Amino acid sequence: MKLSPVAIALSPLMALTAAPAFAEVKDTTSPDTIAIERMIVTGSRVPERLDEVPSSVTLIDSKTLATEMSISSELQNMLATRVPGMSPATGTSSNAGQTLRGRKALILIDGVPQSTPLRNGSLDIRSIDMNAIERVEVIKGATSIYGNGAAGGIINYITKKPGADGAIGGVLGVSSRFSAVKFEDSVGSRVEGALNGSVGQLGYLISASRDDYGLQRDAEGDVPGLVYGLSETTTDNLFTKFHFNFDDEKSLQLTYNYFSSAQDARMVDVTGSVNSGQKTYAIEAGPDTLILGEPQGVDGNHNLMVKYEDLALFDNTRLAIDAYGQKIENVFFYSLTLANPEQGLDGGQSIIRSEKRGVRANFNSDFTLGDTELDLLYGIDYLQDVSSQPLVDGRMWVPEMDMQNLAFYLQAKWLFAEDWVLKAGVRRDQMAIEVDDYQTLRLCRTATQCSTPVAVKGGELEFDANTYNIGLRYKGSTVFSPFISFSQGADISDLGLLLRTATVDDLAKIQSQAALIDNYEAGFDGHWEAFSYSAAVFLSKSELGTRTVLNPASGIYEPVRAPQEIKGIELAASYDVNDELTLGANYSWMEGKDTDQDIYLDGQAITPPKFAAYLDWATTDNSSVSLTWLHVGDRKRFEPVNGQYSGSQGPVESYSLLNLAGNYRVDQLLFTLGVENLLNEDYYSARSQAFTFPGYNTKGLGTTVNMGLKWSF
């Protein structure tokens, strides 16, 4: 029997385990905690106070993570509820259609990119287990601070830190998740463990988890369809971090993260559609049924990062150098639309392969000029990204794209007149992408509806971009702190999609230019006594966005490059009724258009208005209860053609979900209970309603219970 890295790691951890797992019962109102949670590290790649950032930021702390994890360990669900501007969750392993302010977000783990923007497969949100994360930082709006792929912003998973005080502590957790609608075959199991401590100047953290899902069930007790499904899925995560202090200023850190998630269900889909009004659901395969394809999911995501820091390179300058590598292989579901009858192929299954290697040198210098404080951030980034999308049967759908990206950047921050912060910066990107000669695939939706293969001459694509940002914030009052900002991002918009649908014979003729995105934003935040609030309006413009349109002759959805404009508003507020009870809510609305054709953008980018509310109640010193309510509104912007909706233009009707989380602590034991969809709402997710593609119209989960126990020392 082959053991995964997680299984090997969990074996000793079952006997001796440790980690800061009781963050969920930590008093997050202490001054030290507030100071920590008012810091952000991703906006400018150095620690920075939130009240000095002139843009919208959502920070999800360890307490919130623990609450959400007792309901579900799926990060996309937590982000959808807690982040204004984030689209509703899809209810599957894929975050396709789950955008940030209507555009793709760049997913990072401690600053290391997890997304595959050259061929975006939308599986990047699920790249680490929630148990390894200390907090999540979401920076909204186009930005180029980390390079390609951050058209909608950045979602950075900040991982837990190794121990530093010589003590050894630990946690071991087990839980089980099952359907309350139909219990049969729905029981899943989860085991997690971690070890955290230090020896001399060396701190260490080892964390591992394994999730085995049973059959998922909707509100009617049926198993949702298998396209990106989570039924019978096994997810493994191994996370390690070692930190060595040479002295008070110099340190070296090594981080490794392994993540895999594979669905291996002996079931087949009964496929419905948005247009027929019939849901897609899965049934048990018969004994003679041939299960087509390999298990779908992440077949190993490996991340390695080495970071060296010198906090006193000079009297006023800090240095951080990190080198990282990532290797990922995403296996997608078997699709009949990848058929080629001439070759005897009834369908196919694709794989996105991506390897990244990068080096970053980051300098941070502080100066005092009279009554003005000046902070300079500057450095060099280098990234090589090699991505492709072959099929399991050997056909090549997207040829190998070898990108070399060299960038120089400078960011300045002025604190002047005591109460004002002005930030401005520039980044220069030089990108070159090599593509060999290739031929597009002949794909047949039906026996008579096939695409025409095209032989494309390869070559090198070069992109040079200067991107700028400037922002101003007033920080003289905690009650009202307004800001205004402008930021840009350079984005190579899913080049692989453009290559695989090429209709011209030369790479140079493909409309593959990088999109330059302009993000304008204004807002304010503040707190008065027990009341905290924030508000923002934004406008995101690009002269070369991407949408897809169905070619009726071939049955292939082909990309269209055209100007786009997206606008929206975001609101959030919370109120501490007393020391035990907190109420909160957030609201977001967005809309977008292709300004050249004056038509609305579809559900690939734009989702309906979203309202979320929560209640956190510390019922006793040892117990707490949380309720979260999510309401997704209507969006009906498109009319059917000949009685049929196409693409991602299906109408979305509103739905509401109520979740419950509770915990009770007895000494070193923590009992948790979570209930997802407490009222058993019978619904389709926003994506399931908008996407008309076969197999996507699956219903969301019915009432699902998650019971767990954690022991720590």
Q: How do residues 685-708 score in pLDDT, each as one tens digit?
A: 999 999 999 899 999 999 999 999
Distance CA 690, CA 291 (A): 28
Q: What is the pLDDT of residues 338-352, one digit of tens each?
A: 999 989 999 999 999
Q: What is the pLDDT of residues 379-394, one digit of tens each?
A: 999 999 999 999 999 9
Mean pLDDT of the chain: 91
Residue 569 has pLDDT above 90, yes or no: yes
User: Between 15 and 467, where is the model more confident?
Assistant: 467
Residue 70 has pLDDT above 90, yes or no: yes
Residue 108 has pLDDT above 60, yes or no: yes
Q: What is the pLDDT of residues 529-550, one digit of tens each?
A: 999 999 999 999 998 887 777 6
- What does the chain come to in residues? 713
Amino acid at 430: Q
Q: What is the pLDDT of residues 632-673, one digit of tens each?
A: 999 999 999 999 999 999 999 999 999 999 999 999 999 999
Residue 24's pLDDT band (cuts 50, 70, 90): very low
Say what the pLDDT of residue 544 is.
86
Average pLDDT over residues 7-27: 36
Tokens representing residue 45 in the block: 């790649």
Contact between 184 and 223 (Cβ < 8 Å): no
Tokens representing residue 459 in the block: 């070559």
Q: Work out whether the CA dihedral 452, 457, 460, 465 comes out positive or negative.
A: negative
Contacts of 353 (CB under 8 A, 6+ apart): 328, 329, 387, 388, 389, 390
**Domain residue limits at 57:** 5-712
Tokens representing residue 304 in the block: 């390695």
Distance CA 186, CA 216 (A): 6
Say what the pLDDT of residue 27 is.
34
Residue 43's pLDDT band (cuts 50, 70, 90): low
Say what the pLDDT of residue 552 is.
72
Contacts of 31 (CB under 8 A, 6+ apart): none
Q: Work out whether the CA dihedral 656, 589, 523, 546 comes out positive or negative.
A: positive
Distance CA 357, CA 328 (A): 12
Contact between 510 and 498 (Cβ < 8 Å): yes
Say what the pLDDT of residue 38 is.
57
Say what the pLDDT of residue 36 is.
43
DSSP states of 476-506: S-SS-EEEEEEEEEEE---HHHHHHT--SSB
Contact between 38 and 30 (Cβ < 8 Å): no
Average pLDDT over residues 321-348: 94
Distance CA 37, CA 682 (A): 37
Share of the chain above pLDDT 90, in %: 82
3-state helix, strand, coil in the chain (%, to 5): 10, 55, 35
How many of the other CB atoms lie within 10 Å of CB of 457?
14
Say what the pLDDT of residue 39 is.
66
* Residue 57, SS3 per DSSP: strand
* Residue 290, SS3 per DSSP: coil
CA 708 to chain centre: 25
Q: What is the pLDDT of residues 71-88, one digit of tens each?
A: 999 999 999 999 999 999
Q: What is the pLDDT of residues 195-216, one digit of tens each?
A: 999 999 999 999 999 999 999 9
Say what the pLDDT of residue 149 is.
87
Contact between 410 and 424 (Cβ < 8 Å): no
Average pLDDT over residues 35-49: 68
Q: CA 598, 94, 589: angle at the middle one, nearest 5?
A: 40
DSSP states of 565-580: EEEEEEEEEEEE-SSS
Distance CA 670, CA 25 (A): 9
Strand partners, 484: 472, 522
User: By C-alpha distance, which of 444, 348, 352 is closest to 121?
Assistant: 352
Residue 118 has pLDDT above 90, yes or no: yes
Q: What is the pLDDT of residues 574-603, one digit of tens each?
A: 999 999 999 999 999 999 999 999 999 999
Tokens representing residue 303 in the block: 């991340």
Phi, then psi, of 286 in degrees rounded to 5: -70, 165
Average pLDDT over residues 553-557: 71
Say what the pLDDT of residue 459 is.
96
How many of the other CB atoms lie within 10 Å of CB of 545?
27
Residue 34 has pLDDT above 50, yes or no: no
* Measured torsion, CA atoms of residues 260, 240, 132, 491, in degrees rounded to the nearest 10: -70
Average pLDDT over residues 275-295: 93
Distance CA 129, CA 552 (A): 42
Q: CA 236, 237, 239: angle at the middle one, nearest 5?
A: 160
DSSP states of 500-567: HT--SSBGGGS--PPEEEEEEEEEEEEEETTEEEEEEEEEEEEEEEEEEEEETTTTEEEEEEEEEEEE
Tokens representing residue 95 in the block: 């975050």
Identify the DSSP state of 56.
Answer: -
Tokens representing residue 645 in the block: 């909706």
CATH code at position 372: 2.40.170.20
Average pLDDT over residues 84-96: 94
Contacts of 303 (CB under 8 A, 6+ apart): 109, 112, 114, 255, 256, 257, 258, 324, 325, 326
Based on C-alpha coordinates, what's the Rg of the chain? 25
Out of 39-53, 112-126, 253-267, give the one with best mean pLDDT: 253-267
Say what the pLDDT of residue 238 is.
98
- The burial class, CB within 10 Å (0-12 / 13-18 / 19+), for 328 is buried
Amino acid at 626: S
CA 309 to chain centre: 27
Element (DSSP H or E) covering residue 278:
none
Contact between 364 and 377 (Cβ < 8 Å): yes
Average the pLDDT over each of 17-26, 122-131, 359-368, 674-683 and give the range with the smallest value: 17-26
Contact between 316 and 282 (Cβ < 8 Å): no
Contact between 24 and 663 (Cβ < 8 Å): yes
Average pLDDT over residues 229-250: 97
Give the largest CA-CA distance in the chain: 82
Residue 8 has pLDDT above 80, yes or no: no
Distance CA 128, CA 241 (A): 14
User: By C-alpha distance, which of 559, 542, 640, 643 is closest to 604?
Assistant: 559
Distance CA 593, CA 606 (A): 9
Contacts of 105 (CB under 8 A, 6+ apart): 99, 115, 138, 150, 151, 152, 153, 154, 155
Q: What is the pLDDT of residues 673-689, one digit of tens each?
A: 999 999 999 999 999 99
Q: How many domains does the chain have?
A: 1
User: Between 262 and 8, where is the model more confident?
Assistant: 262
Contact between 146 and 111 (Cβ < 8 Å): yes
Contact between 676 and 683 (Cβ < 8 Å): no
Say what the pLDDT of residue 5 is.
52
Three-state DSSP string of 191-242: EEEEEEEEECCEEEEEEEEEEECCCCCECCCCEECCCCCCCCEEEEEEEEEE
Say what the pLDDT of residue 446 is.
83
Tokens representing residue 638 in the block: 């498109």
